[in-house]
Each structure stands twice: as structure tokens, then as C-alpha cells.
């Protein structure tokens, strides 16, 4: 395992510390907890947004704490959902009296832990509600199963719902917008290499030199299938095919996120975007805005995901709204 | 007689066994999940073990409740809230009780399983810890109701647990992270079912020595 | 070689295309050339800044084209200095009548090619001047040699000199400020893995599982020495030691750049920043602003560099000035 | 008699030899540089080779000038402007000349080297292409001034070039990318010195056939 770390057990602690030291104008840490909140939290009278999950997805979620996006983020151990007590601290630290919306990615652990935290908050009369992001089209949706995973599309939920909260909308409205965003965002990813959880010390899976893993999540878990490495255009076509056949994007405007999983050069993400823009143009889908970079990563995994958010006028205004956070600034 | 000393022995022994099997559980989880199950449980049990000394004068219900809180606040992931809920529900069944009978044991086991099912929205056949726990519980219950002796109860329970554990290899996951693998999860043993088996085995082993 | 590309020979072409497609509000491409300029270039009456070098350092340099930073960027083949004709096109495309400052990294190839481009521009009566960034303290400076390399500190030059040009200062003033920035910035890097130039198809060097390369540049070339992997804190101490003993930072304020080389998780950069902030605090050096992320990369290399820019009031105002580019936005 | 046909043959043959040695040159550059020297030169020579057909009626000076422009605009890096400058300076020496004599050859070689030295601010002993070219030039010049026959001139020149190339293994680089390696560059052969050797060898081989 090759990592610039001190102690696998201390990596989240030290990361959070280094994060707060880097961005004191944006964020502060809730003393004694793995919780990052806005430097000026709680923002009085504003609906607060929190998110979180296992660590290892940096800059998610702490990097999106700031004006126009999240109010707080909870960091679990690497790839491990945070515990209810930590989430509860975040809720308390951000609640400005207008209620708290939790943006949860659809994983058994995340859902349960956030749910338990909400139960704790209710006992203290804090209004808490949640939305569950499940944008990954790699997995069939089904009521008999856990359903789809939440992956990079979550960043769009932070952006859009965060802008709605910043505008002063109430909890029900912010939740409605978050749910609309979730209903309109689809993602799919692939990888060329595994990643190594520091405490595990060895790669999450092995791939031959000519193989890639397709349809995988963001926790180093294997994907839906393994394939020979394809040229970038073929990879893009496959990912887009799954996304575009899941909801009807035709004739609409979209926001695109070409997301790196942590170990892929930005160069390659742009090579992908060339093909993405071609395919969307062919299909008459208009690109309103494109984000390219490492937004929701899997440690040092080489790979990428594509997310498409279908926009209407309401979502368009919110995706274009100002944001000022350590990892995403937009004016 | 079952008492708080035995319970603490069990928890302490569980912590050791989980630490020994940390690598195994993590390997199993790497194959079909995210490779942290051993790490998660070890983190929880290590914290639990450290707290056991301070619990030694508490009654069984309180010890289980404290164990549950440690699990819930230290483990995270899916297994933390699930095992935490199981401990909490088991403890609730014997709140205020002095004598813990065979019937109490059945109720505790049952409540633990129900807690997991409710929290996890899961059932037998989803390729989870429940595939170890539910068959084990059924065997345990009928052996007790049958009037079997300790050795036979223990043997039947572990056998059923083992069978359930083996069964997880043959099915595709419908719950938890392994679910995303679909058919690819077939052939792999579920990590949570494995940790449940290890924990049941510890209970049997400690009771065999202590009773 | 595991890469999301189509054809090693086409990677720069496709990347530039995907880049322009992603950021049409910021940039456009000079038709037929590997040159990216501001969407509204040339900006009349403003001193124009260009930079460039081999590709493979993304988001450098194209990502920093935009308000408050560069006016244009020239992309060579991967790790290969661009040719004079390409640079000359960039000069022509950005010249708004107030002259052009070229920010060149100190490599034999870059220096020669930019120099030849300047000779071409002079023949067309465009006022061109250049500064050469040489911030890498890994290598001893000496008049008998090529001198130091230019590495991640170049981003500070883009930021500070770009802000000066945006303020309306004239070419001599912008150049003075760029040179002051260069005089006050020092960097050093290390890596855990090599990288693979697409056209070469194999890694630039090999490192054992327990080895790291120290004091290396940003082109996959080996460093000054090889060492057993150290804990993050030790690595930071070593890099900072070299930097801090090169110029006197004591009692001053600094801007910090913790730069990822492309394959290192952001998590690890923050772990480094924890130690950086401790060491600087101990030495009485005040951190004015911190940047953490992939700013000047080496394809997919796992590794990082630290840059420290010593600030005075003038530089402070300029580093704090607004910037709005695809890769760095600051308000 | 040296003429434009021979020159085109030389350039065409150089393109083939560089393509054959693309891997070798890149490997050498990976050891002490950034691993692109073979790629760079192959890119330039491939473009040059494609343009040769359109140059076949031009005089030697124009062909060299066109080759220089291709190099300067296609190769990039350090070697592009350096070899480009070398070709350009060599061509300048024979601008307008019909007959190219031994003395012209000396002047061309000399001008090429001076162009490299000026553009590269470099000299013998810096571990660059100059360590092949300068000794080769000196041997070439004295062999011609000595009145040697073609075979002997060719042999002495290549021998000196080879010695210079070998010498690059023994020294630390002071110019180019390898310079940053300091003492670590010792033991490695310079890629540019190698490509220069290959190019001189092509000139000798083609001339041996054609003259
Ligand atoms: N819904 C569920 N119901 C019961 N058990 C579950 C459920 N989801 C997951 N599990 C169990 O949890 C185990 C994984 O635990 P762990 O790896 O610690 O958490 P995570 O999956 O969040 O990484 C699985 O092997 C499975 O036995
Ligand atoms: N200043 C210089 N003078 C002469 N030759 C040089 C100089 N700098 C570099 N070279 C030659 O160029 C070669 C490297 O060329 P190449 O790899 O194509 O360019 P780059 O170093 O920009 O990647 C070196 O091996 C060396 O022989
Ligand atoms: Mg997990
Ligand atoms: Mg797991
Ligand atoms: Mg090069
Ligand atoms: Mg080179």
C-alpha cells in the first residue's frame, strides 16, 4: 500500500484537521466530532443541509460545505457510514431553526445510521427530514432489493437543493427540489484499477492489465461486470447508453458531471467529455453546464463516472446560482 | 446460572475472536462488499472490550444496552446499527430480570433478530447475517422446547447456523452492498453471516465452560 | 498502460476539444492550433498573459485561462514543450495592444521554444516579454547548469501576475510583479508511483512497493533521490525543510499550495496540510491562504508537492483578488 | 557528387532509422529524462518524410531549411529547436551554392554545432548531443584537411562520434532535463547524443552507397 499517511487509524482525523486548517474562512469542525460545518453555522432562519457518508470520497462531502451548498458534512471511517451520534451532532450544529434536510446516499448503512440520527433529533424537537439519492443506473432498481446506489449525482443534489435553501425556501420546498433533482439525475461509472482502504492495507479487487470494471460504486466494491478495456469513446457510449435509456432526456437541457474517481488524470476526463458532447449533440440534448473533475472519488481509484441532470427552468436557475465552498465556487 | 460475569466473558471473548478473524471478515467483504466488515467490527469490539471493566457490576440488561450503544456509536456501516439494534433488543427482553431462563434466551434471540429485520428491512434469503441467525434461532428454539440438554442445544444451533452460513454462498444478495453485484455475488460467503456465526460459536463455547 | 483514451497520438487534440466543450463560457480554441484563449480574447488594452508547456499537467495551463489569471495557454505533446509556431499563435490571439507576458517554466525546451516564438512576434511588432519560473528547490541552483526547474509554484505566478494585469498595470509592472512572485516562491515534490506517457506506453520509472522518489519534477523524470516510504509527517518535514532553508520565510505571511500530482487522493493532501500548518505555526510563519488539490499534475502520478509563496502587502492583495477560470475560481 | 537527391535519401533514411530506434531513444530518455525523445524525433521525421516528395526539385539549402521548419514546428521539447536550428544553420552555409565541396561540408557541420551551442547555451561535456557532434566534427575536419579518402573520413568521424557517445555515460548532465538528476545521471547514455550518432551513421552509410 502506497499512501502519504501517518497511521491508517488516524487518517480521517488528520484529514479533517488539515481540511479545517486549509479553509478556515469556509468551515469549522464541531469539537470532538468528525463533523465539518460552515464557519458561521448555524445560519439563522435558513433550512440547513447536511450530508455525509464514509470518508474516501473527497472532496465529498466536506468540500461542499459553504454558501449555496451544504451546511454540514459528517465523515465516517473510510468507506464506512458515519454513526448516528456523529450525524446527530451535525444536525444540532447546523440547525438554524428552519429545519434540517439530510442528503443521504442509498446504502444500507447510510440509510440506517441517518435514520437513527433523525430519531435522536426528533426527541430534541429538531425538525429533520431526509432524501435518499439513488442515481446509479448500473444496478437494476427493484423493490425486493436495496435499490440503486447513490453516487456522483449526489453533488448535483447538494448544489441544487443547497441553492434552494440559500434562497430562503422552507424545508418542504427544499425537500421537494432535492427530490426532483434525484428524480432527474442518473449516473454510471467504470474503473481501471481498484483502491486500497488504508486500514485494510490491500487493494479492494484485482484487475488484469487489459481489464476494466464496469458499473461500480464508489467504495471499491466490484461492479456489475468486468470487460476488456475499451477506447474512451466506447466507454462513454456504454455509460451514456445506460443513462439515456433510463429516463427520457430527449429534447431537454442537461447539466453534465464528468467525475474522476481519484486516480484518473483530468486529461482523460476531458477526452471523455469530447465524446459526451458529441453524443448529446447527436441526440439533440443541449448541454447547459458541464463540471469536469474529481467531485466524488474512491480514494486513488483510476476511473470515472458520468452524471446527467435533466433540467427544467427551476433546476436551471438553481444549478446556475452562486456557490462558494472549498471544492466548488461559482458566481 | 447465567449471570453478568458470564455475559462479560462472552463479550470479551467475542472481541478476541473478531480481532483474530478481522482479516478473514475483511477479505470476505472485499470480494462482494467494500472490505471493511472486519475493520468495523474490530473497532466496535475493541472499544467494547475496553469498557467491559466499568460494566462488571451492572446487570445483564444494562451491559447489553451499553454494548449496543458502543456498537451504534463506534462501528458505523450497516453492521453497526444492525448488531447494535440486536444487542439493544436482546437487553430489553431481560430488563429488570434477575434469573435468565431458557425462555428468556429464546425471547432475547428472537427480539435481536426482529430488530435486525426491522432496521435492515431484510429477511432470510437476502444473503445477510440473518441467514445465519434465523436458522440458528429456529434450531435453538425447538431444541429448548424439546427439552434437549445444553450440549445438544448448542450442537443443533451451531449446525443450523453453519448450514445457513454455507447457504449464503449459493445465493445472490438482495440486501446490503453485495446486492449491487447481482449474480456476481453467488459463490461468495457473506461476511455478516460469518461474523454472526463466529459470535454464536463464542456464546456456545463460553457457556460450555461456564455452565 | 491503463488509460481512458482512444489513441495515444490524439490525446492532446481530444482533450482540448473536450475542454472547450466543457467550458465555452470561459475559453475558445484558436482554430487549427493547440491553443486555448479566453472566450473574449483579445482583451483590449490589457496586458495579456500566456503560459504553456507539455500536456499532462492538467488543469495546468488551460484550466487557468480566464479572468484574473491567464489569457492563453499553449499545449504541447505530453511532457513536450510546445513549438514556437503554436506559441506565436497564442501571442497573436491574446495581444490586446498592451503587450504579452509569457510565463515560462524553466526547462531547456520550454525556454528555447518560447524564445523562438518571441523572436517571431517581434518581427510582427508585438511587444512580448517573458519570465522564467524556477521554484523547485530539489535541484541546486548553479550558473553552470540549467538551473532550477519550474513546477507547481507557476500557478502562483499565473494567479498573482494575472491579477496585476487584470488591474490594468502595464507590461513592465506586470513583469516586475511576476518576477517578484518567482523570487518569493519555492516548491518541492515527491512521488510514490511513476506515470505513463500515452505514446510511450510504459511507466517512466519503476519503484519498489516500499520506495518513494524525492525531489522530482513534473514530467515523470526521476527525482534527486530514492528513499523508503516515510510517514506523511516525515515527508512534509523533509520537503518543508528544503523550502524553508532556501529563503527566509520567518515572521512572514505565506500562501500555501499543497499540490497533488494527479493520482493522489485529496484525503492525503489534507493529511499533509495538517502537518504543514503545524510546522509553519511552530516557525511563526502565518498562513494567509491555502490551496489544496490537483493544480500542476504529472498525469496519473501518485505524489504531491508543497509550494510556499512569501507575501508582502502587494502580493497579498493580488493573491486575494478575484479569479474566474475553469480550474480556479475565487471571489 | 553530393546533390539534392542524396540529401533527400539521407533525410528519408534518417526517418526510418529514427523510427526503428524510437523505443531505444525513449528508453534512454526515460532513464534520465522524460521519456519522449524517440517519440519527439519520430513525430518530426515522420512529418518530414511525408514532405520529402514535394521537396525533390528544391536545392539542398531549401531542403534543409524546410526540414528545419518541420523540426521546429513538429518536434517541440529541447531537441526540436536544437536540431531545427542545426538544419537551418547548415542550410544557410550553402545557400545559392551549386557545388558542395568538402570545405562546405566542414562549414555546414560547424554552423550546425554553433547553432546548437548558441540556442542551447551548452558545450561539450554537458552530456548532450554536443558530446557526439563536437568530437565527430573535429575528427571530420582534420580528416578532410588531412586529405583522407571517403572511407577513412567516415570511419574516423563515426569512431569519434561513438567515443563521445560512450563518454556521455561517464559524466553527470549539466544541461537539459537530465541535469536535474545530478550525479544520478552518471552511468546512463544521453538520448540526444544517441540520436545524433544514429543520424551521423545514416549520413555515412548513404554517402558510402551514393558517392
Ligand atoms: N439490510 C440488511 N439486513 C441485514 N444484514 C445486512 C443488511 N445489510 C447488510 N447486512 C450485513 O452487513 C454486512 C456488511 O457489514 P459491513 O461491511 O460492516 O457494512 P457495510 O456494508 O456498510 O460496509 C453484510 O455482510 C450483511 O451480512
Ligand atoms: N541545452 C542543450 N544543448 C544541447 N542539447 C541539449 C540541451 N538540452 C537538451 N539537449 C539534448 O536534448 C535531448 C533531449 O531531447 P528531448 O527528450 O526530445 O527533449 P526534452 O528534454 O525537452 O524532453 C538530450 O538528451 C540532450 O542531448
Ligand atoms: Mg462499509
Ligand atoms: Mg463492508
Ligand atoms: Mg520532453
Ligand atoms: Mg525528453
Tell me the per-residue pLDDT of A167-179, one tens digit each, with 9 for 90 and over: 999 999 999 999 9
SS (H, E, C) chain B: CCCHHHHHHHHHHHHHHHHHCHHHHHHHHHHHCCCCHHHHHHHHHHHHHHHHHHHCCCCHHHHHHHHHHHHHHHCCCCHHHHHHHHHHHHHHHCCCCCCCCHHHHHHHHHHHHHHHHHHHCCCCCCCCCHHHHHHHHHHHHHHHHCCCCHHHHHHHHHHHHHHHHHHHHHCCCCCCHHHHHHHHHCCCCCHHHHHHHHHHHHHHHHHHHHC
- Evaluate if residue C140 carries a pLDDT over 80: no
Q: What confidence tier does A145 reach under pLDDT thresholds 50, 70, 90?
A: confident
Residue of A149, A58, A140, A155 lying closest to A103 (CA atoms): A155
CB contact at 8 A, C213 and C226: yes
CB contact at 8 A, A219 and A56: yes
ipTM associated with this complex: 0.92
Q: What confidence tier does C318 reach under pLDDT thresholds 50, 70, 90?
A: very high
Query: Is the bond preceding residue B58 a cis peptide, omega within 30 degrees?
Result: no
Sheet containing strand A303-311, strands side by side: A225-228, A211-214, A185-191, A303-311, A253-260, A286-293
Distance (Å) from CA D36 to ligand 5 centroid: 5
| SS3 call for D170 | helix
| SS3 call for A109 | helix
Mean confidence (pLDDT) of chain A: 96
- Evaluate if residue C79 carries a pLDDT over 90: yes
CB contact at 8 A, C279 and C245: no
- Phi/psi for C305 (5° steps) reads -130, 155
Report CA torsion sign: A157, A162, A167, A173. positive
pLDDT at res. C143 = 67
pLDDT at res. C220 = 85
Contact: C221, D34; criterion CB under 8 Å: yes
Residue of D128, D131, D167 to mutate, ligand 2, most atoms within 8 A of C-beta: D128
Average of per-residue pLDDT across C96-110:
96
Distance from CA of A174 to the nearest CA of C (A): 26
Task: List C304's β-bridge partners, or say none.
Answer: C190, C260
Separation between Cα atoms, residue A193 and residue A2, nearest integer Å: 14
Could you tell me the three cell numbers for A50? 447536511
- Evaluate if residue C142 carries a pLDDT over 80: no
Ligand nearest to the CA of D192: 2
Contact: B72, A85; criterion CB under 8 Å: yes
More reliable by pLDDT, B211 or B193? B193
B175 lines ligand 1 (CB under 6 A): yes
Could you tell me the three cell numbers for C250? 520567518
pLDDT at res. D144 = 95
Separation between Cα atoms, residue C146 and residue D185, nearest integer Å: 14
D192 lines ligand 2 (CB under 6 A): yes
pLDDT at res. A221 = 81
Q: Which of A13, A264, A265, A320 to mutate to test the interface with C (most CBs of C within 10 A)?
A: A265
B180 lines ligand 1 (CB under 6 A): no
Average of per-residue pLDDT across B66-82:
95
Does any CB of chain B come closer than 8 Å to the CB of residue A140? yes
Tell me the per-residue pLDDT of A155-166, one tens digit each, with 9 for 90 and over: 999 999 999 999
pLDDT at res. A194 = 94
Separation between Cα atoms, residue C253 and residue C284, nearest integer Å: 9
Tell me the per-residue pLDDT of D78-130, one tens digit each, with 9 for 90 and over: 999 999 999 999 999 999 888 899 999 999 999 999 999 999 999 999 999 99
Q: What confidence tier does C141 reach under pLDDT thresholds 50, 70, 90?
A: confident
Could you tell me the three cell numbers for B15? 472481541
- Phi/psi for B176 (5° steps) reads 75, 180
Separation between Cα atoms, residue D15 and residue D21, nearest integer Å: 10
> In which element (H, E) is residue A114 found?
helix A108-123
Nearest atom, ligand 1, residue B129 CA: 27
- Evaluate if residue B1 carries a pLDDT over 80: no
| Ligand 2 atom 25, closest CA | D192
The number of helix segments (H) and strand segments (E) in chain C equals 8, 14
Tell me the per-residue pLDDT of A78-92, one tens digit each, with 9 for 90 and over: 999 999 999 999 999
Tell me the per-residue pLDDT of C201-211, one tens digit each, with 9 for 90 and over: 989 888 999 99
- Evaluate if residue C278 carries a pLDDT over 90: yes
Separation between Cα atoms, residue B177 and residue B180, nearest integer Å: 6
Residue of C234, C320, C327, C306 lying closest to C264 (CA atoms): C306
Average of per-residue pLDDT across D178-199:
93
Separation between Cα atoms, residue A302 and residue A229, nearest integer Å: 13
| Ligand 2 atom 1, closest CA | D120
Separation between Cα atoms, residue C137 and residue C153, nearest integer Å: 11
Could you tell me the three cell numbers for D42? 519520430
* Buried-exposed string A288-307: b where 16+ CB fall within 10 A, e elsewhere: bbbbbbbbbbbbbbbbbbbb
Distance (Å) from CA C211 to ligand 1 centroid: 36
Neighbours of B54 (CB within 10 A): 9
CA angle C251, C253, C258 (to 5 degrees): 120
Separation between Cα atoms, residue C183 and residue C236, nearest integer Å: 22
> In which element (H, E) is residue C194 found?
none
Q: With 0-12 CB in 10 A as exposed, 13-18 as middle and 19+ as buried, what is B209?
A: exposed
Residue with cell 432527474: A184
Average of per-residue pLDDT across D8-19:
98
Distance (Å) from CA D44 to ligand 6 centroid: 14
**Four-way CATH pick for B2-210: 1.25.40.340, 3.30.2130.10, 1.20.120.1760, 1.10.10.10:** 1.25.40.340
pLDDT at res. C145 = 75
Distance (Å) from CA C119 to ligand 3 centroid: 60
| SS3 call for D160 | helix
Mean confidence (pLDDT) of chain B: 95
pLDDT at res. A223 = 86
Tell me the per-residue pLDDT of A247-278, one tens digit each, with 9 for 90 and over: 999 999 999 999 999 999 999 999 999 999 99
B128 lines ligand 1 (CB under 6 A): yes
- Evaluate if residue A143 carries a pLDDT over 70: no
Residue with cell 505533446: C77
Residues making up chain D, counted from first to last = 211
Contact: A268, C63; criterion CB under 8 Å: no
Calculate helix-pair angle for D4-20, D22-32, nearest 10 degrees: 60
> Do the chains C and B touch each other, judged by at least 3 C-beta pairs below 8 angstroms?
no
Task: Please provide the distance, in angstroms rounded to a whole number, between the alpha carbons at the two ends of chain C.
Answer: 40
Question: Domains, chain A, ranges and CATH?
Answer: 8-183 (3.40.50.10440), 185-330 (3.30.1180.20)
Could you tell me the three cell numbers for D95? 545557400
Average of per-residue pLDDT across C221-245:
95
- Given a contact as 3+ CB pairs under 8 Å, which chains touch C? A, D
Residue of D171, D206, D178 lying closest to D192 (CA atoms): D178
Residue with cell 493520482: C263
D33 lines ligand 2 (CB under 6 A): yes
* Contacts of D64 by beta carbon, 8 Å cutoff, 6+ apart: D7, D87, D88, D90, D91, D94
D81 lines ligand 2 (CB under 6 A): no
Calculate helix-pair angle for B191-210, B79-93, nearest 10 degrees: 30
Residues of chain B above pLDDT 90, percent: 89
- Evaluate if residue A140 carries a pLDDT over 90: no
Average of per-residue pLDDT across C239-265:
97
Mean confidence (pLDDT) of chain C: 96
Residue with cell 504579452: C100
B172 to B36, B126, B128, B176, D136: CA distances (angstroms): 20, 8, 10, 11, 73
pLDDT at res. A292 = 98
Could you tell me the three cell numbers for B95? 430488563
Separation between Cα atoms, residue A186 and residue A297, nearest integer Å: 17
* Contacts of C138 by beta carbon, 8 Å cutoff, 6+ apart: C149, C188, C189, C214, C215, C216, C217, C223, C224, C242, D180
CB contact at 8 A, C297 and C261: yes
> In which element (H, E) is residue D134 found?
helix D130-145
Separation between Cα atoms, residue A49 and residue D11, nearest integer Å: 67
Residue of B88, D88, B178 lying closest to A84 (CA atoms): B88
| Ligand 1 atom 15, closest CA | B79
Tell me the per-residue pLDDT of A284-299, one tens digit each, with 9 for 90 and over: 999 999 999 999 999 9
CB contact at 8 A, A145 and B179: yes
- Dihedral Cα C256, C260, C264, C265, nearest 10 deg: 50
Integer-rounded Cα radius of gyration of chain B: 16
- Phi/psi for B42 (5° steps) reads -65, -40
Tell me the per-residue pLDDT of C43-66, one tens digit each, with 9 for 90 and over: 999 999 999 999 999 999 999 999
Separation between Cα atoms, residue C262 and residue A243, nearest integer Å: 28
Separation between Cα atoms, residue C216 and residue C226, nearest integer Å: 10
Amino acid at each position: 500500500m502506497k499512501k502519504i499517511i501517518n497511521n491508517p487509524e488516524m487518517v480521517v482525523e488528520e484529514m479533517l484537521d488539515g481540511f479545517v486548517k486549509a479553509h478556515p474562512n469556509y468551515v469549522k469542525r464541531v469539537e470532538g466530532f468528525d463533523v465539518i460545518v460552515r464557519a458561521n453555522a448555524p445560519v439563522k432562519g435558513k433550512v440547513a443541509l447536511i450530508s455525509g457518508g464514509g470518508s474516501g470520497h473527497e472532496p465529498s462531502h466536506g468540500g461542499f460545505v459553504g454558501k449555496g451548498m451544504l451546511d454540514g458534512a459528517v465523515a465516517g471511517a473510510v468507506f464506512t457510514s458515519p454513526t448516528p451520534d456523529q450525524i446527530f451532532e451535525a444536525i444540532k450544529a447546523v440547525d438554524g431553526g428552519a429545519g434540517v434536510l439530510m442528503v443521504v446516499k442509498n446504502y444500507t448503512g447510510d440509510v440506517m445510521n441517518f435514520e437513527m440520527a433523525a430519531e435522536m433529533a426528533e426527541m430534541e424537537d429538531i425538525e429533520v427530514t431526509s432524501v435518499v439519492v439513488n442515481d446509479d443506473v448500473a444496478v437494476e432498481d427493484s423493490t425486493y432489493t436495496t435499490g440503486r446506489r447513490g453516487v456522483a449525482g449526489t453533488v448535483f443534489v447538494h448544489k441544487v437543493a443547497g441553492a434552494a435553501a440559500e434562497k430562503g425556501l422552507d424545508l418542504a420546498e427544499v425537500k421537494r427540489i432535492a427530490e426532483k433533482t434525484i428524480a432527474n439525475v442518473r449516473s454510471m461509472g467504470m474503473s481501471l484499477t481498484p483502491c486500497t482502504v488504508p486500514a485494510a492495507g490491500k487493494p479492494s479487487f484485482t484487475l488484469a492489465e487489459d481489464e476494466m470494471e464496469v458499473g461500480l460504486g464508489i467504495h471499491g466494491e466490484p461492479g456489475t461486470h468486468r470487460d476488456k478495456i475499451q477506447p474512451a469513446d466506447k466507454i462513454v457510449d456504454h455509460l451514456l447508453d445506460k443513462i439515456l435509456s433510463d429516463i427520457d432526456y430527449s429534447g431537454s437541457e442537461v447539466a453534465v458531471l464528468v467525475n474522476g474517481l481519484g486516480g484518473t488524470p483530468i486529461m482523460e476526463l476531458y477526452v471523455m467529455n469530447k465524446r459526451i458532447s458529441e453524443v448529446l449533440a447527436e441526440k439533440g440534448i443541449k448541454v447547459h453546464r458541464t463540471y469536469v473533475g474529481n467531485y466524488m472519488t474512491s480514494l486513488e481509484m483510476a476511473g470515472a463516472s458520468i452524471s446527467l441532470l435533466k433540467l427544467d427552468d427551476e433546476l436551471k436557475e438553481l444549478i446556475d446560482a452562486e456557490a462558494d465552498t472549498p471544492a466548488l465556487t461559482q458566481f | 446460572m447465567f449471570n453478568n460475569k458470564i455475559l462479560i466473558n462472552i463479550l470479551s471473548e467475542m472481541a478476541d475472536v473478531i480481532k483474530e478473524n478481522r482479516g478473514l471478515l475483511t477479505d470476505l467483504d472485499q470480494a462482494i462488499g467494500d472490505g471493511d466488515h472486519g475493520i468495523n467490527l474490530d473497532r466496535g469490539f475493541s472499544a467494547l472490550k475496553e469498557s467491559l471493566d466499568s460494566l462488571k457490576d451492572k446487570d445483564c440488561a444494562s451491559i447489553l444496552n451499553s454494548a449496543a450503544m458502543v456498537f451504534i456509536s463506534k462501528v458505523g456501516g450497516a453492521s453497526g446499527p444492525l448488531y447494535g439494534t440486536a444487542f439493544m433488543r436482546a437487553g430489553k427482553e431481560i430488563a429488570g430480570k434477575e434469573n435468565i431462563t431458557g425462555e428468556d434466551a429464546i425471547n432475547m434471540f428472537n427480539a435481536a433478530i426482529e430488530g435486525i429485520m426491522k432496521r435492515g428491512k431484510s429477511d432470510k434469503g437476502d444473503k445477510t447475517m440473518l441467514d445465519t441467525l434465523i436458522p440458528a434461532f429456529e434450531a435453538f428454539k425447538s431444541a429448548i422446547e424439546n427439552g434437549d440438554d445444553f450440549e445438544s442445544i448448542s450442537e443443533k444451533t451451531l449446525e443450523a447456523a453453519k448450514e445457513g452460513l454455507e447457504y449464503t454462498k449459493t445465493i445472490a444478495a438482495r440486501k446490503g452492498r453485495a446486492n449491487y453485484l447481482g449474480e456476481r455475488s453467488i459463490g461468495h460467503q457473506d461476511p455478516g453471516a460469518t461474523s454472526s456465526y463466529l459470535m454464536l460459536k463464542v456464546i456456545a463455547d463460553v457457556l460450555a465452560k461456564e455452565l
